[in-house]
Structure 1
């Protein structure tokens, strides 16, 4: 009889403990994220900043470890990031290397800040859509101003790239 009560108590405790696990609702902190310092999946830093004339709202920051092309980079803790509102030439097109070289000089190996598009935060390729900031500079806007990119506005988006020109 005593064994029966002990077994019931153990079962109740097991059920109670298993219900005490937490589920993180932050999509950036999933099981593929580790806390390694230099790996592509390091946990990003979340900050909110507003500086000077570039009204930046940095939601996530991380180190850029790869430049894919003139409008796509890879960021630690975030993954692949597509510059929202702009389109640079594709491989083999005129201007491709110039745009990629500019983004490489601005981003590669540096901490970038991301203002993720709240209206649509991923594209059809599962890339994070964001404004990309380095040292307070909106690179999406700079790509347009320097002539390395064209406006590519695809609604819904919280950003209006036509206002950057």
Structure 2
């Protein structure tokens, strides 16, 4: 009889200890989540991008050199600043990616989108800018365009990454709405 009481007491104590340890570990996990600074998150993302680019064949290299279409401005230049996930500065001109909307830079998602663009097309890269014939008036002083960097369509890649969404509101105006990448993300020609 004493062994039964001792066994039951031991099981109760072990149960209480298990609940306590579970509660403490859950509390510590929550503390860790809260204590990771945004700079740490950016480092983790940068590491992940580097690991992925080393372990998988790069889908970023396209077989042929990009060419401008339409009649609007077309020029080559150097990236001097990545402003956010859908805007860069090429030489002295501010370029907004046509049909693309990335989160605002003051959010974690916005920082991730900016870092994604920088990972594909860092400052100093050569780019080809193809202005959107249908939106040549621009947007807030920025040229609307498709930007090719290292033979990669940045508009398409930021959409594919999930770090931006297509601006379907402008599909009816954009010269690029009939492009396969624009259709894939929701433009109906």
TM-score range, shorter chain: 0.5 to 0.7
- Is 1:85 matched with 2:99? yes
| Conserved 8 A contact 1:54-1:138 | no
- When Rg is computed on C-alpha atoms for both structures, the one with the higher figure is 2
| Conserved 8 A contact 1:117-1:130 | yes
- Is 1:96 matched with 2:96? no
Question: Could you tell which deviates more after superposition, 64-73 or 96-105?
Answer: 96-105
- Is 1:106 matched with 2:120? yes
- Is 1:128 matched with 2:148? no
Query: Could you say which residue in structure 1 is the equivalent of 2:46?
Result: none
Indicate the SS of the match to 2:130: strand
- Is 1:142 matched with 2:157? yes
Cα distance in structure 2, aligned partners of 1:144 and 1:56: 20
* Alignment match of 1:64 (pick from 79, 91, 95): 79
TM-score normalised to structure 1 length: 0.62
Render the CA deviation track for 1:16-49: whole Å, top value 9, x for unaligned. xxxxxxxxxxxxxxxxxxxxxxxxxxxxxxxxxx
Unpaired runs of 5+ residues, structure 1, are 1-50
TM-score normalised to structure 2 length: 0.54
Query: Could you say which residue in structure 1 is the equivalent of 2:182?
Result: 162
| Conserved 8 A contact 1:117-1:131 | yes
Compute the displacement of 1:121 (Å).
1.9
| Conserved 8 A contact 1:69-1:96 | yes
Indicate the SS of the match to 2:103: coil
Compute the displacement of 1:56 (Å).
3.8
| Conserved 8 A contact 1:56-1:136 | no
Unpaired runs of 5+ residues, structure 2, are 1-61
Render the CA deviation track for 1:74-105: whole Å, top value 9, x for unaligned. 0115x100000110000233411111011122
Report the count of equivalent residues: 114
Q: Could you say which structure has the higher helix fraction?
A: 2
Compute the displacement of 1:145 (Å).
0.6
